[in-house]
Amino acid sequence: MKIKLITVALLTALGTTVTVAADNDIAALVEQYIASGFKQGEKQHTERIVQDETQKQCTTYRNKIPSEMQKAFMERERATIKYPESGKLSGNWEQGQKTFTDGFAWRVGTIMPDKPDAVRGGNCYACHAADPKEVAAGNIGSTLTGYGKLRGNTPETIKYTYEKIYNSNTYMPCSSMPRLGHNGVLTPEQIADIVAFLVDPESPVNK
């Protein structure tokens, strides 16, 4: 009821005449306004505002998937994971540092008008600390400084790290971490490079 009242108040403030209707009518109206709020056109990635089955379930259960549903949920997410054609889940840490640092991630639109196909990075510093020399790091996610020192670079650690970056819901239903591989933000090769940045002893993350 609170959500309904807030939604009605918001739409009224925007100059919209609203008649309180069924919940699904209100939800449809909200979706309509969200969709119209994005610039339309080629490469604007407006498909992002359409929820897939995972997002719908997380919305329905307020990010707390019932225990009896969690196994099927995570198995479905794991089935989306794709690996590099080379089979190597840890790539080049120096390239991984660039991908980790690049701040564009999956914003709506293009990186710059004259380079519509420019490679996007992960914007990982928005949520995680990594290289201790980088001061502009968020703390929404856990710190990754010393990641390889703490966890090592065993095949098990590398596989877990790769899969967690590719689709975080594989290990934590309704994780707040973006599904970077699943959503096409990063390629398998880019993710492998980030893994190397986190686990390689030569990476500044582990110095």
pLDDT in tens, 13-48: 545 444 444 567 887 887 787 777 777 666 666 677
pLDDT attached to residue 32 = 80
pTM for the model stands at: 0.79
d(CA 86, CA 64): 37
pLDDT of residue 137: 95
% of the chain residues with pLDDT over 90: 64
Q: Would you state the pLDDT for residue 30?
A: 79
Higher-pLDDT residue of 30 and 197 is: 197
Residue range 53-91, pLDDT digits in tens: 999 999 999 999 999 999 999 999 999 999 999 999 999
Domains, the chain: 1-37 (no CATH), 93-206 (1.10.760.10)
Residue 112 has pLDDT above 90, yes or no: no
Least confident of 38-52, 93-107, 168-182: 38-52
Output the pLDDT for position 19. Answer: 47
Cα–Cα distance for residue pair 120/189, rounded to 1 Å: 13
pLDDT reported for residue 98: 93
Which residue would you say has higher pLDDT here, 115 or 192?
192
- 83-108: b or e for each residue (b if 16 or more CB lie within 10 Å)? bbeeebbbbbbebbbbbbbbebeeee
Nearest of 101, 152, 150, 147 to residue 122 by alpha carbon: 101
Residue 175 predicted with pLDDT over 50 = yes
Judge whether 80 and 167 are in contact, CB under 8 Å. Answer: yes
Contact 166, 81 (CB under 8 A): yes
Within the chain, how many helices (H) and strands (E) appear? Answer: 8, 0
Q: So what's the pLDDT on residue 3?
A: 47
Structure tokens at 9: 């108040």
Token code pair at residue 108: 């709506």
Alpha helices in the chain, H assignment, sequence order: 2-13, 23-36, 53-60, 67-78, 93-101, 147-151, 155-166, 188-199
Write the DSSP symbol of residue 205.
Answer: G
Residue 49 binned pLDDT confidence (cut-offs 50, 70, 90):
confident
- For residue 20, the tally of other CB atoms under 10 A from its CB is 10
pLDDT of residue 28: 80
